[in-house]
Amino acid sequence: MGKWYEQKPEQEGIVISSRIRLARNLKKYPFSNGLTTEESQRLIQEVKAAMLNDKTAISQQLDFIELSYKSGLDKLAMMERHMISPELLKKSVPTGVFIHQDESMSIMINEEDHLRLQSVTPGMDIEKAWDLADKIDDVLEETLEYAFDEKYGYLTCCPTNVGTGLRASFMVHIPALEVTGQLRHIVQAISKLGMTVRGMYGEGTEAQGSLYQISNQITLGQSEEQTIQNLKNITNQIIEQEIRIREKFLKEQPIQLEDEIYRAYGTLSHARIISAKEAMKLLSYVRIGYGLGILKKKAPEEGIFQLMMYTQPGNLQKRIGKEVGSSGRDAARATFIRSRLYTNDNS
C-alpha cells in the first residue's frame, strides 16, 4: 500500500497536505499530565480493545505500536514523517500509537490529551481527511466515554482545544511569501481571524524549506464545518498571493530566478557533504523550478517533498541502516540526493 506522501512530481503544488487532528480525553481518567504510569498503561489497553475489537474496514488497517519498545531513532523517523508529534517524543509515561498502513491516519495515546486522532491527505483535500477522522472518532466513541460537557463541548488538557477539539491545517510551500517578507504581514492578519502559521512540525517548531502549517486557533463556538471552510478561504488567499509573487519574479527577474534554481540543482547534484538545513533550502528552490517549468531535467521519481522527508536525520539513518554522527549524516545525505537527481539530462 502506497504512502500518502508518495506524490508524483506533477502533483506537487503549493499545498503539500491537508490534516485533521482531534483532541479527546476519557472521562474516567485524569488529564495526561496527571496520569500515573499504571493509569497510562490501563488507558492504552482500553483504547487498544476499542480499536482491535472493531470490525470496520478502517480499523482493520490500523497497526498498534507501543512506543516504549521503539528506539529513539525509530520514533524520530516517525515524527519526521508526521505520524507522531514532537510532544509525544517527550513523554515519560507509557505511550502508544495506532498507524494506518498508508500512514494517512494515526491515533496517539497519552500525548497532551489521552487521544490525538490525526488524518492526513495529499494536496488540498481536507474534506476527505475530516471524513476519515470523524469515522474513527465515531468508532472509538461507541466503546469509550469521552470527557464532554453539554455547554463547552469536548474537554481537553489545554483550554485552547476545548469545544470541537479540532485542529485543521494545510502544509504549504510558500517560498515567495517568505523571501519577500510578506509572510510576516500575513501571520499578523490571520491571527485576528483565529488562524495561525506554524513550522513544519506544528507548534513550537521552525519552518524548513519554506514549509509552513496554516491552522485554526478557535475550537469553541464554531462547528467543525465552519472551521474547515474558514481555513480553506484563508489558505486560498495565501495561495493566490504566493502564485502572484512567483509570476512577478518570473516576469521581472527571470534570469535571477533561473540562476537560484540551477545553482541549487547544481549543488545538490554534486555536493559530497550537505546539512539537513541546507538541503531543505536547496530542495525548496528545486521544487519551485519544477513547479514553474524552469527545470527541464527529469524529476526524481519520489517527488521533492519525499526527498525533503527522507533526508531528515531520523529517516536518513533508517535508510542507511545505522546511527551515525552529524558528519556521517551530511555525507550520506549528499550521496542519497545525488543518487536521486538526474545530472545527465539536457537543460
Domain holding 329, by residue range, is 254-340
| The domain boundary residue, chosen from 219, 243, 267 | 243
Kindly state whether residue 149 falls inside one of the protein's structural domains: yes
Could you read off the pLDDT tens digit of each residue along the chain, which spans 347 residues? 578 888 665 567 899 999 999 999 999 999 998 999 999 999 999 999 998 877 777 778 899 999 988 999 999 999 999 999 999 988 888 999 999 999 999 999 999 999 999 999 999 999 999 999 999 999 999 999 999 999 999 999 999 999 999 999 999 999 999 999 999 999 999 999 999 999 887 776 788 999 999 999 999 999 999 999 999 999 999 999 999 999 999 999 999 999 999 999 999 999 999 999 999 999 999 999 999 999 988 888 888 999 999 999 999 999 999 999 999 999 999 999 999 987 545 44
Is 179 found in the same domain as 279?
Answer: no
- Those residues with Cβ within 8 angstroms of residue 33's Cβ, 6 or more apart along the chain or in another chain: 112, 157
Is 179 found in the same domain as 83?
Answer: yes
Is 283 found in the same domain as 168?
Answer: no
Q: Exposed, middle or buried: residue 9 (CB in 10 Å: 0-12, 13-18, 19+)?
A: middle
Is 276 found in the same domain as 129?
Answer: no
Is 60 found in the same domain as 202?
Answer: yes
User: What pLDDT shows up at residue 346?
Assistant: 46
Task: Answer yes or no: are the C-beta atoms of 328 and 273 closer than 8 Å.
Answer: no
Task: Answer yes or no: are the C-beta atoms of 212 and 172 closer than 8 Å.
Answer: yes
Is 238 found in the same domain as 318?
Answer: no
* Main-chain phi, psi angles of 117, to 5 degrees: -90, 130
Task: Answer yes or no: are the C-beta atoms of 50 and 278 closer than 8 Å.
Answer: no
Strands 96-100 and 62-66: antiparallel
Q: What is the CATH number of the domain that holds 184?
A: 3.30.590.10
In the chain, the number of structural domains is 2
User: What pLDDT shows up at residue 8?
Assistant: 64
Q: Exposed, middle or buried: residue 256 (CB in 10 Å: 0-12, 13-18, 19+)?
A: exposed
User: What pLDDT shows up at residue 300?
Assistant: 86
Is 262 found in the same domain as 189?
Answer: no
Q: What grid cell was written down for 69?
A: 519498545
Is 266 found in the same domain as 223?
Answer: no
Is 197 found in the same domain as 120?
Answer: yes
- How much is the pTM? 0.93
